Structure 1
Amino acid sequence: MTNIHKELSLEQREQLFKTLKVRFEKNKHRHEGLEWAKVQTKIESRKEKLWSLNEMEETGGEPDVIGYDDKTDEYIFYDCSAESPKGRRSICYDREALEARKKHKPENSAIDMATAMGIELLTEEEYRELQRLEQFDLKTSSWVQTPDQIRKLGGAIFCDRRYDTVFMYHNGADSYYGARGFRGSLRV
C-alpha cells in the first residue's frame, strides 16, 4: 500500500477531500438526500477511515458514498469505478489460495489487500445493490465475499455485469485474471 504509517499529509488530505467532494456532487443519484458537509465532518473525526479512503482512491476504486445507516450513524462508501479497480487486479482470493499455488503466483490476494487497506470486500448482496445504482464491471469482474462452505471446498465467487444482468460465478480461489479484482466497502 502507499503509506505504512496510515497517516496522510495535509496536502494529501486536502486533495482527497477535493476529489471525494467533486465525485459526491457529480453522482447525487448514489446518495440522494445526503449532504457533503456532514460526510466530510464525519470523515475528519475518523482519521484512520480517511487513510482507507485514500487507499481505495490510490488503487483506482473511486470511492463514493452510496448510503447512510441510521442505526449505526455511519456513511457507507463503495468502490464506484466503472470497472474493477485497476490497482487491485490479477490477484487470487485469499492467503490460503495464494500459498497453495505452486507456479505463477500472483503478487497478492483480495482478502489480504482489503485487510491491509482497512476495508471489506463487497458481499454478493452489496454488489447487486451497487449495480442497482448504475452499471459496473461491463468488461471486468470482481471477487466478492465467499461463503465458508464454498471456500472450504477450494472455491470462491465473483460477480460482473453482462447482457444487462448481474451474474455471480465461481472459480478456484487460487485463480487470477488480469480483468478480475475486487470492490470494497468502508463504513465511516
Structure 2
Amino acid sequence: MTEPLDLFGAPVMLRSAEFVTPTIRRILSRKWGPGPRALVIGCNPSDAGVDRDDPTSLWWNAWFQLFGFGAYDAANLYPFVSPHPRECRRRVEAAFSGEWHDRDALLANVEHIVALAKAADQVFVCWGNIAWDDFWVDHVVEQIATGVEPYPDLWCWGTTKSGAPIHPMARGRHRIARDQQPIMWRSA
C-alpha cells in the first residue's frame, strides 16, 4: 500500500520525532491536516520514528483521523526506546541505582510531558498494565494536574481490571475497537 500524497507529490502524513540519543525518544509526532492536536502518553517508546510507524502508531493514526484530529504527539512515562518493556524496566531500575545519565533523561522527560500535555487540545493515556511503578505514574499525572494552567483532563480507551488505561495493542477481550469512543480516565 502506498502512502497518500497531496497534489504536489508530498506525503499527506507529516512525521517527526525527537531523539535525545538513539535510545531515548522524547516525542513522536504525526500531522495530516487541520483539526485538534492530541497528546498520547504511553509506557515506553517502541521503534517508531521519522521514517517508520509501528503497530501502535498505526492504530493511533487511524483512530485520531477517524475522530477528526489533525495531529498527535506521543510521549511516554519512560523515554527509553525498546520494543521490549522488560528492557525499559531494566534501564529505569539502573537510573534509580546510580546511572545518572538515564536518571537525568527520565526526570527531564517529565517536564517535557507536562509541557506537551498543557499545550494539547486533548490528552490520552494508554500505558496498560506494563507501567509497573504506580508511584511514578502518580508523579507524572500530578505534575500534569498542578503548576501552571491549564490542567487537562486525561482520557483513555478503556481500563484494565486494576484501573490502568488500556494500550491500543491489548489483545483478547481487552482489544480496543478502532471506533472506540474516548472515556474519561481522570478529570482535572
Asked whether the two chains share a fold, i.e. TM above 0.5, the reply is: no
Higher relative contact order (CA closer than 8 Å, sequence separation 6+)? 1
TM-score w.r.t. the length of structure 2 is: 0.30
TM-score (norm 1): 0.30
